[in-house]
Amino acid sequence: MKMKSSQSEAQAPESAAIPQIPEKQILILSNLSRTRSTSGMELRKLIAELGLPLKGPSYYQFMARLEHAGLVEATHELIQTDVQPLTIKNYTLTAAGEEQIKIAADFYRVLLVRILKNTQ
């Protein structure tokens, strides 16, 4: 019987399901919270900080895909300004989105352990 050489290896599973969503979606979902809404403006800022090429229509299509897949929920907030009312779209992570993050985290954890084993 083979003994585990470190505690981190003992905790890492031998295999994990491959994530069913692309890396861009994993990045955005992992920055959302089930307990706090994030405005579209905040998300666009985050996307820019991550260097993702999502601007204009591609951003809205991207978020619509996440919504349609049930990974995020969107709510609308009406804010009255001096000039005109503004509708702010806020996003929260759903249980399905949280599950996709867990699947991705498990997969990349296993992958990282394997890479580290092969480089020692």
Q: 100 near 19, Cβ under 8 Å?
A: yes
Q: What is the pLDDT of residues 3-27, one digit of tens each?
A: 444 444 445 557 778 778 888 888 8
Question: What percent of the chain is modeled with pLDDT above 70?
Answer: 89
Residue 75 has a pLDDT of 94
Is 30 a domain residue?
Answer: yes
Question: What percent of the chain is modeled with pLDDT above 90?
Answer: 28
Is 87 a domain residue?
Answer: yes
Domain that includes residue 45, residue range: 21-119
CA–CA dist 53, 63 (Å, integer): 13
**What CATH number does residue 59 fall under?**
1.10.10.10
Is 60 a domain residue?
Answer: yes
Mean pLDDT of 54-64: 87
